[in-house]
A and B are shown apart, each in its own frame.
Chain A
Amino acid sequence: MTPGVTPGRLMLMAYVYLVLIFVLAPIVVILPMAFSEPDYLTFPPEGFTLGWFGEFFGNDRWMTATVFSLKIAFATSVVTVVVGTMATYALMRGAGRIGTLFQGLLIAPIVVPHIALAVALYLFFRQTGLSGTVAGYVMAHAIIAMPFVVFTVAAALSSVDATLEDAAMSCGASRFDAFRLVTLPLILPNVLSGALFAFILSFDEPVISFFLAGIRDKTLPRMMFDNIEQNLTPVIPAIAVLLTGVSIFVLVSAAILRRMAQARSIPAEEG
């Protein structure tokens, strides 16, 4: 592929721009509607108001759902990162057969459609009283987020020289101290980006949220689903504006974390 400008290249780029317009247009169209006055969605937006942000922040039901979702997302990221890092560390330190079993079970939730897991948990949680509880959502979301966290942490662990841990242990450190003081700081950027990923995945997760919600304990995605299904008010674009802001913040943070990871790994590669 030559970088020079050929007719083929021009056609390719024209096509790519059209695809990018298709990708971006719906988002570009919906965001300004957050500031539109009527209580239905029109384009172009009519008038200007910040009232829909007020509706979101001032309404108890939206706020309760948002706080509930934030709690779930925070707990999910902690649980997933702790459980996932422990298991990944064991995987990379000679897990053998049990490691194969681990990998199979890790992949399974990616393969099995979310609707299947949602229905299974809907019935199971009804019997066990876990429906609508933070614990119930956290277990479900942790299972979905786990592969992403494990892959991210495994990628970091495989680039850390394990003899560093050996050296620490020959100097008298326990295995746990060697991990905590030597390995963990080296893989920390990836662990944190795994945590961010789990957080977003949980906060955004619509399918399991849809099935596990009771009448009162709704998550933010479930409230949004109901709004879109019933009347679709500009609260949705207002939330979209807020979420896009948060997403950009998270993307930038993740990029910074990755830079940090690279900066750390360069001396190891050279030395």
Chain B
Amino acid sequence: MTLVSFTQPDGRNLSKAGITLLMAPFFMLIGFAFLYPLLSLLSISVTEPQFGFQNYERILDTPVYGKVLLRTLWIALLVSILSLFLAFPVAMAMVSSGGAMAVFITACILLPFWSSVLVRTAAWAVLLQRNGIINEGLQAIGIIDGPVRLLYTQGAVVVAMTHVLMPFMVLPIYGALRNIPQDYGRAAAICGAGPLRSFFEVTLPLAMPGVLGGFILVFLTALGYFITPALLGSPQEMMIATLISQQLREFLDWPFAAALVGVLTLFVTAITLVFSRVFRFDRMLGGQL
């Protein structure tokens, strides 16, 4: 399976030995610090404390852990849907506005992309705290009487994760929209389609690969997200990544943590393989700088 297709220039090709030699450092690195550790982690999940699938059975048989898995899926889905609704119009505006405006919007989308996830998470902690702006604002308008708990809730996690992951949705949609010839919109208008009909019957179907690509990228990233749930979420409402951390660091239950990693990794890999056609990583990630 080839996920990325690079054009091959007509040069004098390297010998097999040359290619192997040049790629050897990469294969050694990925073998030593990626494949081996991950495979041995997965093998721990089925060999300790004894051989078998009891660690995986424990995840399915314990309602608390089942709830964590469902909650993780739900939060990731919610974040992806919210990101889509925020990102699509932004991508449209980036394509349809010219010059300075397009640069301004792109800069606004990319600047947070470059600032630390930790800083953005801290910013949300400040905004959402008991005497934070949001609480005070809501009291000033009279929606609430006293400060309410916003921080350390699922809502805080969803909002902050949407904030962090939304740019990942904008870029692929922007890429898809940019490739639609402007004539198509005009042609639809000449044929009598209003702006809404033209959007739903021309623009949206042609943008679908970008939408799907962005949606899956955000969804998969959200599934394994650690920092934001760890800092803004409630310990009673964990996501899978925070549960893994707790099992590993607090309860020192490596085999169970390994099984949770196994569930997450296999699920994510399966979805990626199913959607590998819409996943053009080179396009999605290569054009960031």
Q: B36 touching A166 by the CB < 8 A rule?
A: no
Secondary structure of the A contact surface, majority rule: helix
Q: Does residue B269 face the partner (Cβ distance < 8 Å to A)?
A: yes
Q: A83 touching B29 by the CB < 8 A rule?
A: yes
Report the count of interface residues on B (CB-CB < 8 A): 100
- The B220-264 residues at the A interface (CB cut-off 8 A) are 220-221, 223-227, 230-231, 241, 244-245, 248, 254, 257-258, 261, 264
Q: A250 touching B22 by the CB < 8 A rule?
A: no
Q: Does residue A117 face the partner (Cβ distance < 8 Å to B)?
A: yes
B residues less than 8 Å from A224 (CB atoms): 116, 118-119, 122
Q: Does residue B208 face the partner (Cβ distance < 8 Å to A)?
A: no
A residues less than 8 Å from B44 (CB atoms): 123
Q: Does residue B30 face the partner (Cβ distance < 8 Å to A)?
A: yes
A residues less than 8 Å from B122 (CB atoms): 30, 224, 228, 232, 236-237, 240
Q: State in angstroms the CA–CA spacing of A19 and B2 once bound together.
A: 36
Q: State in angstroms the CA–CA spacing of A243 and B111 once bound together.
A: 11
Q: Does residue B123 face the partner (Cβ distance < 8 Å to A)?
A: yes
Q: Does residue A269 face the partner (Cβ distance < 8 Å to B)?
A: no
Q: B114 touching A24 by the CB < 8 A rule?
A: no
Complex partner residue of A111 from B23, B116, B231, B272, CB under 8 angstroms = B272
Q: What string of 1s and 0s marks CB contacts (under 8 Å) between A179-202 and chain B?
A: 000000000000001001100100
A43 to chain B, nearest CB (A): 5
Given contacts A24-B108, A26-B124, A166-B12, contact A1 B119 (CB under 8 A): no
Q: What string of 1s and 0s marks CB contacts (under 8 Å) between B106-141 and chain A?
A: 001111101111111111111101011100000000
A88 to chain B, nearest CB (A): 9
Q: Does residue B212 face the partner (Cβ distance < 8 Å to A)?
A: no
Residue from the set A6, A8, A112, A221 with the largest chain B CB neighbour count within 10 Å = A112
Q: Does residue A161 face the partner (Cβ distance < 8 Å to B)?
A: yes
Q: State in angstroms the CA–CA spacing of A84 and B92 once bound together.
A: 35
Q: B93 touching A163 by the CB < 8 A rule?
A: no
Q: A119 touching B257 by the CB < 8 A rule?
A: yes
Complex partner residue of A23 from B89, B108, B129, B195, CB under 8 angstroms = B108
B residues less than 8 Å from A67 (CB atoms): none
Q: How many pairs of residues, A versus B, come closer than 8 Å at their CB atoms?
A: 310
A residues less than 8 Å from B265 (CB atoms): 112-113, 116
A10 to chain B, nearest CB (A): 12
B26 to chain A, nearest CB (A): 4
Q: B285 touching A115 by the CB < 8 A rule?
A: no
Q: Does residue B63 face the partner (Cβ distance < 8 Å to A)?
A: no
Q: State in angstroms the CA–CA spacing of A240 and B33 once bound together.
A: 31
- The A110-151 residues at the B interface (CB cut-off 8 A) are 110-124, 139-140, 142-143, 146-148, 151
Complex partner residue of A232 from B115, B125, B166, CB under 8 angstroms = B125
Q: B37 touching A120 by the CB < 8 A rule?
A: yes
Q: B89 touching A225 by the CB < 8 A rule?
A: no
- The B1-29 residues at the A interface (CB cut-off 8 A) are 1-4, 6-14, 18-20, 22-23, 25-27, 29
Complex: chain B residue closest to A121, CB-CB: B37
Complex: chain B residue closest to A241, CB-CB: B119
Q: Which 9 pairs across A and B sit closest by C-beta, in order of nearness?
A: A162-B11, A113-B224, A94-B13, A26-B123, A151-B286, A90-B22, A124-B37, A120-B37, A162-B9
The chain B residues found within 8 Å of chain A, CB to CB, are 1-4, 6-14, 18-20, 22-23, 25-27, 29-30, 32-38, 40-41, 44, 86, 89-90, 92-93, 95-98, 105, 108-112, 114-127, 129, 131-133, 163, 166-167, 182, 185, 195, 220-221, 223-227, 230-231, 241, 244-245, 248, 254, 257-258, 261, 264-265, 268-269, 272, 281-282, 285-286, 288-289
Can you identify 11 A-B contacts, CB atoms within 8 angstroms?
A1-B95, A87-B26, A102-B23, A105-B26, A112-B265, A113-B268, A119-B41, A123-B258, A140-B33, A143-B30, A228-B231
